[in-house]
Amino acid sequence: MDTGWAAIALEQVQPGPLLSPFLTPVLFVGLIVAVGGLAVVGVLVIYQVMRRRAANHVVASATI
């Protein structure tokens, strides 16, 4: 009986392109740009934290 319902459901599906994007191209490109921007900001934050730690380490060791 389940096979019959599956066959009926498949008949109701409209045929379309196999790899059609579910997002519009503009939204897809915007998503890629946003992820890239977040990656750049993350790298810059990590760089600043590491640079500040290195500067503090040099100052602390110079005072000993």
Confidence of residue 6 (pLDDT cuts 50, 70, 90): confident
Cα dihedral sign for 17, 19, 23, 29? negative
For 14-44, what is each residue's pLDDT tens digit? 666 655 566 678 888 889 999 999 999 999 9
Please give the residue that has the higher pLDDT: either 4 or 61. 4
The continuous run of DSSP H or E covering 64 comes out as none
Do residues 28 and 21 make contact, with C-beta atoms less than 8 angstroms apart? yes
* Residue 10 pLDDT exceeds 80: no
